Amino acid sequence: MFSMKIIDSDAFLDMPLSTQALYFHLSMRADDDGFLNNAKKIMRNISATQNDYDLLLMKRFIIQFPDGICVIKHWRINNYLRKDRYSETLYSEEFSMLDVKENGSYCLKEESGVPDCNHNDTTTKPVINHGIPLGDAEKNRVEKNREEKNSNTVSNDTVRSTDVQRVTDAWNSLPGLSRLTKLVSGSQRYDWLKVRIRDYGIDEVLRAIENIRYSPFLLGQSKGGWTVTFDWFVRPNNFPKVLDGNYLEDKSESPEPKDQKSHDNGGEIWQ
């Protein structure tokens, strides 16, 4: 069920034990293609937190789809199923959004043409899954699904790019803050933003940014002079407090920016 090349990697072992446990439980309950639709139920059953799930997303151990379904990225590295025991996933639409890399890991088709920065993919040789060599019947199904997706007039990539641009424009309209020049797919800040949009919706993300406009504290007008940055804003522990208005003028709660310098790179924008 689990490859030592994945679960013995530094990227995996650096995560909290609660996050590692969530990965194991998600993997144990996934179907024969690595998909599952009840991640929140599993989280409740094992007392995992949203931060555990977000960390798996951020470190790219799972891939999340807009409808709440997720897939274990390294499922085909972790597992081998005989062809006569394999049951095809019910989530064919989500499956069509994936490509299978040479080492057996999944990636979204939007990322398949970009070198993967994830350090978890430590294998280089193609693997065999369901008793069929990759590039055989599996390749035909992937190619067919790609053609079907390309026939759509509006893609999920377009929607996501539009949302990201709206966030960028809203942030850059705030006075006195470092401008956000671009958000690079695969970067930590980009992944955090995608999770915030998925969990709260684009309108709520824009409303949280608007709350910053009316918070002298976040705009650096307090005695300490600390100023909010985008990387601080999109972190899972900080975003809900901004959205709830905790830093508006009559609610001056301290954001505890003690690790600001180490994460914000001196005010420069992450790439």
Ranked by mean pLDDT, the top range of 78-82, 112-116, 151-155 is 78-82
Per-residue pLDDT tens over the stretch 106-119: 888 765 444 443 43
pLDDT in the model for residue 222: 81
Angle between helices 156-172 and 202-213 (to 10 degrees): 10
Contact in structure between 9 and 118 (CB atoms under 8 Å): no
pLDDT at 143: 54
- Specify whether the CB–CB gap between 73 and 62 falls below 8 A: yes
pLDDT at 61: 92
**How much is the pLDDT for 42?**
93
Separation CA 88–CA 86 (nearest Å): 6
Kindly report the average pLDDT of the chain as a whole number.
Answer: 75
Query: How much of the chain exceeds pLDDT 70, in percent?
Result: 70
For residues 100 and 95, give the distance between their C-alpha atoms in angstroms, rounded to a whole number. 10
pLDDT bracket for residue 183 (50, 70, 90): confident
The larger pLDDT score, comparing residue 136 to residue 58, is at 58
User: SS3 letters for the chain?
Assistant: CCCHHHHCCHHHHCCCHHHHHHHHHHHHHCCCCCEECCHHHHHHHHCCCHHHHHHHHHCCCEEECCCCCEEECCHHHHCCCCHHHCCCCCCHHHHCCEEECCCCCEEEHHHCCCCCCCCCCCCCCCCEECCEECCCHHHHHHHHHHHHHHCCCCCHHHHHHHHHHHHHHHHHCCCCCCCCCCCCCCCHHHHHHHHHHHHHCHHHHHHHHHHHHCCCCCCCCCCCCCCCCHHHHCCCCCHHHHHCCCCCCCCCCCCCCCCHHHHHHHHCCCC
Kindly tell me if the per-residue pLDDT of 65 is higher than 50: yes
Predicted pLDDT of residue 218? 92
pTM, full prediction: 0.40
